[in-house]
Structure 1
Amino acid sequence: MSNLNILSGGAAQGLVGSLASTFKAQTGFDIVGEFGAVGAMADKLRKGIPADIVILTAAIVAKLAEEKLVVASSIANVGLVETALAVRAGDPRVTVKDTVGLRECLLASDAIYVPDTVASTAGIHVAKVLVQLDITDEVAARLKIFPNGATAMREMAASDARRPIGCTQSTEIISTKGVSLSGTLPPGCELATMYTAGIGATAAHAPQAQELIALLIGAGQQEQRERAGFIRGTT
């Protein structure tokens, strides 16, 4: 069986999964590999983990190209992903219009589920927002930190907390059963991150990697990208 090896941020897992059957029909290849915090995925590539394709933040992919670990000419934008709030399915959704509302929302929650605050895009941003809102110490005991947003959302779905809330990238919320997208972060705290795809410099299956990139960015997949949580196309 032929496999295309991927190292990707968790933000793209839902979209890649939705395209897997089409990709296999076109190429005969299955997509295997890892999805997780972008910093951790980049470090795996640096350590020599084989990857035909990477899908990470634009800044990280550009850096990997500088390091000659990604083919610069292959890099293509997949789309923007917003960092957003999540609630358990069935719980009342929260609407946060400004920083005051976000502060009150977080303080009212007895468990706050987030991805890695050191290596993940959303987790790093959450840590900055907590500092900005001056509540880092106050909510420290309530923070539930997991290696990536998908894991954080699965754990929140199973939470027995009274009023849990999650904060990670919208794509990870949308693709996780048992949680609901509750809204984006308010002005002053918002974050939209461009994700890009690129072929690994030592790719064993570069032509197939290019075919997956074509699927990821193709005009025919615009609706799929939007359903997965990407708010803008490839421009």
Structure 2
Amino acid sequence: MPSLNIFSGGAAQGLVGGLAAKFRESTGLEISGEFGAVGAMADKLRSGTPADILILTSALIATLTREGLVAGGSITDVGRVETALAVRDADPPVSAPDAASLRQAFLQADAIFVPDTKASTAGIHVAKVLQQLGIADEVANRLKIYPNGATAMRHMASSDALRPIGCTQATEIIATKGIRLSGVLPKGCDLATTYTAAITTNATHAREAQVLIDLLTANDHAPLRVQAGFLEPEK
């Protein structure tokens, strides 16, 4: 069966998966492609790897539009995703209402599971927060860095660490079995990232890509977006 090829940040994987059946019913196409660090997804597109649709940060979509790789008229915000903390299902929750308690939470963990600290939105932010809290060097050997947040969370779920903690996009935490959301990062350390969908200029299935964008952003699917961890876009 032919498929719509997607390059997306891992933050949108759960939401796209939840709409895949409706998309198939509407278009006859499956959804294939990759979900990962947004920087890596953008580089794949730049290298000439074909894709029909992108779901990346709004800032990166704007850059790719200026580079002539995105059809400007197709750009549509899907929603905002907060960077958050994760614990395993069997572990006690971690509360971090302020920077001091967040610092303590990281220091008490014997393993800190995070996405790529150079190419992923959440990973870059985590690295910045650790520097901000003055503990980057102290916890460096406890960082468990994976290509994207979904992979980091899966490894955390099966970890034999005694006191692991995860930090990535809330949507990736919610979508992973064996772990649970333990609160978003506190004010001053927080990050809410707007994710935006767009059709590539060389899309083979541009019409079907627009169908998926319409499904992702439909008013009727607002509860699904909330369930997946998305907040409404800023007006």
Whether these two folds match at TM > 0.5 is yes
The TM-score with structure 1 as length reference comes to: 0.99
Provide the C-alpha distance between the structure 2 equivalents of 1:180 and 1:132, rounded to a whole number of angstroms: 25
Task: Tell me the number of residue pairs that the alignment of Structure 1 and Structure 2 aligns.
Answer: 235
Secondary structure in 2 aligned to 1:139? helix
Change (3 A) 1:97 1:130: same
Residue in structure 2 matched with residue 156 of structure 1 by the alignment: 156
Residue in structure 1 matched with residue 71 of structure 2 by the alignment: 71
Q: Which amino acid aligns with 1:37?
A: A
Residue in structure 2 matched with residue 215 of structure 1 by the alignment: 215
Conserved 8 A contact 2:194-2:233:
no
Residue in structure 1 matched with residue 58 of structure 2 by the alignment: 58
Structure 1 runs, 4 residues or longer, greater than 3 Å off: none
Residue in structure 2 matched with residue 85 of structure 1 by the alignment: 85
Question: Does 1:204 pair with 2:204?
Answer: yes
Residue in structure 2 matched with residue 32 of structure 1 by the alignment: 32
Provide the C-alpha distance between the structure 2 equivalents of 1:230 and 1:214, rounded to a whole number of angstroms: 16
Provide the C-alpha distance between the structure 1 equivalents of 2:25 and 2:204, rounded to a whole number of angstroms: 19
Provide the C-alpha distance between the structure 2 equivalents of 1:5 and 1:141, rounded to a whole number of angstroms: 37
Secondary structure in 2 aligned to 1:35? strand
Conserved 8 A contact 1:99-1:189:
yes
Provide the C-alpha distance between the structure 2 equivalents of 1:129 and 1:234, rounded to a whole number of angstroms: 24
Provide the C-alpha distance between the structure 2 equivalents of 1:34 and 1:99, rounded to a whole number of angstroms: 34
Secondary structure in 2 aligned to 1:4? strand
Provide the C-alpha distance between the structure 2 equivalents of 1:183 and 1:232, rounded to a whole number of angstroms: 18
Q: 1:1-235 alignment to 2 at 5 Å?
A: 1-233=1-233, 235=235
Conserved 8 A contact 1:217-1:234:
no
Conserved 8 A contact 1:76-1:234:
no
What is the CA deviation profile of residues 103-140 of structure 1, one whole-angstrom value per residue up to 9, with x for unaligned ones?
Answer: 00000000000000000000000000000000000000
CA-CA distance at 1:234 after TM superposition? 7.3
Provide the C-alpha distance between the structure 2 equivalents of 1:200 and 1:29, rounded to a whole number of angstroms: 17
The TM-score with structure 2 as length reference comes to: 0.99
CA-CA distance at 1:146 after TM superposition? 0.2
Provide the C-alpha distance between the structure 1 equivalents of 2:56 and 2:26, rounded to a whole number of angstroms: 24
Provide the C-alpha distance between the structure 2 equivalents of 1:31 and 1:37, rounded to a whole number of angstroms: 18
CA-CA distance at 1:233 after TM superposition? 4.5
Conserved 8 A contact 2:111-2:144:
yes
CA-CA distance at 1:196 after TM superposition? 0.1
Provide the C-alpha distance between the structure 2 equivalents of 1:206 and 1:104, rounded to a whole number of angstroms: 48
Provide the C-alpha distance between the structure 1 equivalents of 2:92 and 2:17, rounded to a whole number of angstroms: 29
What is the CA deviation profile of residues 76-126 of structure 1, one whole-angstrom value per residue up to 9, with x for unaligned ones?
Answer: 000000000000111101111100000000000000000000000000000
CA-CA distance at 1:10 after TM superposition? 0.2
Provide the C-alpha distance between the structure 1 equivalents of 2:114 and 2:200, rounded to a whole number of angstroms: 29
RMSD in angstroms over aligned alpha carbons? 0.7
Provide the C-alpha distance between the structure 2 equivalents of 1:208 and 1:114, rounded to a whole number of angstroms: 34
**Aligned residues with identical type, % of pairs:** 64
Provide the C-alpha distance between the structure 1 equivalents of 2:94 and 2:104, rounded to a whole number of angstroms: 11
Secondary structure in 2 aligned to 1:15? helix
Provide the C-alpha distance between the structure 2 equivalents of 1:9 and 1:38, rounded to a whole number of angstroms: 5
Secondary structure in 1 aligned to 2:171? helix
Secondary structure in 1 aligned to 2:190? coil
